[in-house]
Amino acid sequence: MKILAVWGSLRRGSSNETVLRALAPVGVEVVLFGDGATNGIGQLPLFNPDVEAAGEEAQGGAVAAWRAALAGADAVVISSPEYAHGVTGVLKNALDWVVGSGELVGKPVALINASSRVTVAQASLVEILTTMDARVVVDVAGTLAVPLAEKGSDEEGLLAAPEARKLLAGALEKLVEAVGDV
C-alpha cells in the first residue's frame, strides 16, 4: 500500500512537511511528493485550461508527474498551512490541475494539520476535495502544535512526543482502513 504525502508550503523547513516526514516511521509506505529537497507541487505551472487542453508537451513534465503520483497512490495525506484564511495558492493550484483529469475521484484523503488555528482553510480544503469527489476520511488539526513547538521542528522531535505519535498513527490507521473499504 502506497500513500502519497502532499504539503501546501514551499518554505524550507516547513512544519507541514515535518509532520508528513514523521508519518513514515509509523507504519505503511509514505512517499512525499518531491525530490527530497523541494516540494513537487511547486514545480507545477499555474493552472490554465488552455494549457491543459494543449496537452502534456505544453505543460512540461510536472503535471504528468503529479497526476501519475496521485494515480499510483492508494491514498493521499495532505498537510497545509493557512494563508489569509485560505488554502495556500500552491496547493489550490495543484488541486486545480486534477479537477478535470480526476485522479482524486474516490481516493481516500487524510487532512492533518500541525496548527490549531487553521480551521477556515481546513474546512475549505474539505469542501474543495469533496467537490472533486475525493473521500476525506481523516480531518485533524491542532493537536501537533504543542509538540512541534516544544520539541523543535524535526520529525524525530515530533515523534518523541507520545501524543503526536498517537495522533499520527491513528490518522494513518484510519486512512489504511479506508483503502480497505474501497
In the complex, the residues that contact ligand FMN under the rule CB under 6 A are 9, 11, 14-16, 81-85, 115, 117-118
Strand positions, DSSP E, 33-100: 75-79, 82-83, 86-87
Cβ closest to ligand FMN, residue 30 vs residue 63: 30
The helix (run of H) or strand (run of E) holding residue 20 is helix 15-21
In the complex, the smallest distance separating the C-beta of residue 156 from ligand FMN, rounded to whole angstroms, is 17
CB of 107 to ligand FMN, least distance (A): 23
Residue closer to ligand FMN, measured from CB, 17 or 103? 17
Tracing cell 496537452 back to the chain, one arrives at 55
- Which lies closer to ligand FMN via its Cβ, residue 16 or residue 59? 16
Distance of alpha carbon 149 from alpha carbon 159, whole angstroms: 13
Name residues whose C-beta falls within 8 Å of residue 122's C-beta, 6 or more positions apart in sequence: 82, 111, 113, 139, 141
Strand duo 86-87 + 82-83: pairing: antiparallel
For the bound state, the minimum distance from the C-beta of residue 140 to ligand FMN, rounded and expressed in Å, comes to: 15
* Strand, helix or coil for residue 170: helix
| Residue whose CB is less far from ligand FMN, 9 or 59 | 9
- Measured from the CB of residue 41, what is the shortest distance to ligand FMN in angstroms? 13
Least Å distance, CB 172 to ligand FMN, is 19
Strand order of the sheet with strand 29-32? 29-32, 2-7, 75-79, 108-113, 135-141
Residue closer to ligand FMN by CB (options 48, 116) is: 116
